[in-house]
């Protein structure tokens, strides 16, 4: 976390809530878990690797937060989803906020994306997200008459070169958020998609220096987001200030969606 960053939210802004964050051990998920902890929530973090989850849990527990770490969780597997929800409910009794942060993709031109690759990206970013969302709603949010589901989308929302498989998957989440907000309003469940531009995480920087430099060059604000900036927007949604926001996409991208990507498309005949 940047030493210069200060949360804009009050320390008790999410007091009394239980937030479940998938992919909570690294990058944006870690920042979201921290922001919820720093605003008074009890936090459950899930992911496949134990070490990063335990590091986050140790940090937040040391700060006085009640934290549950659930390593070995692959949200693509229905039995893992069921076990995760059981574990969180056994510990905290409820799930008030679900942040579907776990996801992933790879860089490829459309003609290089195989059917297997397409299915893998959509299985993680759409199918797994839906399974966990439905399970949490059925087991906790619908019976308790309330909750917030957050999905993570992509910006620019009109499509991203070398990411058409992932962009299509994230666009599905925007539509899912709006549909669920309507369907589940009778249960007082809200659903919001937070569409982000490039975020300064290890996973994003793993795409390479050229990729990062291009993201910075084409962003109207001239930089990429810190994880904390995005996390604070997500944590705001579950506060009393965000209580009337549902069924929409909130774009946190430094102006990318307004501008596009800012570089020309491949020309006819160009390979």
- The neighbour count for residue 243, using CB atoms within 10 Å, is 11
Q: Which residues of 47-63 are buried (b: 16+ CB within 10 A; e: fewer)?
A: bbeeebbeebbebbeee
**What pLDDT score does 248 carry?**
98
* Burial bucket for residue 209 (CB in 10 Å: 0-12, 13-18, 19+): exposed
Distance CA 112, CA 218 (A): 25
**What pLDDT score does 56 carry?**
97
Instruction: Assess contact for 163 and 107: CB atoms under 8 A.
Output: yes
**What pLDDT score does 270 carry?**
66
Number of helical (H) and strand (E) elements in the chain, helices listed first: 11, 7
Q: What is the pLDDT of residues 228-243, one digit of tens each?
A: 999 999 999 999 999 9
- 3-state secondary structure at position 154: strand
**What pLDDT score does 211 carry?**
82
* Cis upstream peptide for 190 (omega within 30°): no
Q: Which residues of 251-266 are buried (b: 16+ CB within 10 A; e: fewer)?
A: bbbbbbbeeebeeeee
Q: What is the pLDDT of residues 211-233, one digit of tens each?
A: 888 888 888 999 999 999 999 99
Distance CA 105, CA 250 (A): 21
Instruction: Assess contact for 84 and 73: CB atoms under 8 A.
Output: yes
Q: Which residues of 110-120 are buried (b: 16+ CB within 10 A; e: fewer)?
A: eeebeeeebeb
Per-residue pLDDT of the chain (271 residues; tens, 9 = 90+): 555 788 999 999 999 999 999 999 999 999 999 999 999 999 999 999 999 999 999 999 998 999 999 999 999 999 999 999 999 999 999 999 999 999 999 989 999 999 999 999 999 999 999 999 999 999 999 999 999 999 999 999 988 888 999 999 999 999 999 999 999 999 999 999 999 999 999 989 988 888 888 888 888 999 999 999 999 999 999 999 999 999 999 999 999 999 887 777 777 866 6
Distance CA 64, CA 42 (A): 10
Half-sphere exposure of 40 (CA within 13 A, CB side): 12
CA 189 to chain centre: 18
């Amino acid at each position: 976390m940047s030493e210069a960053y200060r949360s804009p939210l009050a320390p008790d802004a999410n007091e009394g809530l239980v937030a479940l964050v998938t992919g909570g051990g690294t990058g944006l998920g870690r920042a979201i878990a921290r922001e919820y902890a720093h605003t008074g929530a009890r936090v459950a973090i899930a992911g496949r690797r134990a070490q990063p989850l335990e590091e986050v849990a140790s940090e937040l527990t040391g700060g006085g937060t009640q934290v549950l770490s659930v390593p070995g969780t692959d949200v693509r597997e229905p039995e893992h989803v069921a076990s995760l929800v059981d574990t969180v409910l056994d510990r905290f009794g409820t799930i008030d906020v679900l942040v579907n942060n776990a996801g992933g993709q790879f860089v490829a031109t459309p003609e290089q994306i195989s059917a297997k690759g397409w299915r893998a990206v959509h299985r993680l970013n759409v199918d797994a997200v839906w399974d966990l969302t439905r399970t949490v709603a059925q087991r906790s949010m619908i019976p308790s008459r309330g909750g917030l589901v957050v999905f993570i989308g992509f910006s620019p929302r009109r499509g991203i070169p070398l990411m058409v498989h992932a962009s299509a998957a994230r666009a599905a989440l925007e539509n899912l958020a709006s549909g669920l907000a309507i369907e589940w309003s009778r249960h007082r469940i809200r659903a919001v998609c937070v569409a982000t531009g490039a975020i300064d995480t290890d996973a994003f920087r793993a795409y390479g220096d050229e990729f990062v430099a291009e993201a910075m060059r084409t962003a109207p604000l001239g930089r990429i987001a810190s994880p904390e900036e995005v996390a604070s927007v997500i944590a705001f949604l579950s506060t009393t200030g965000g209580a009337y926001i549902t069924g929409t996409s909130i774009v946190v991208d430094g102006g990318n969606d307004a501008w596009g990507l800012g570089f020309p498309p491949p020309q006819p005949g160009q390979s």
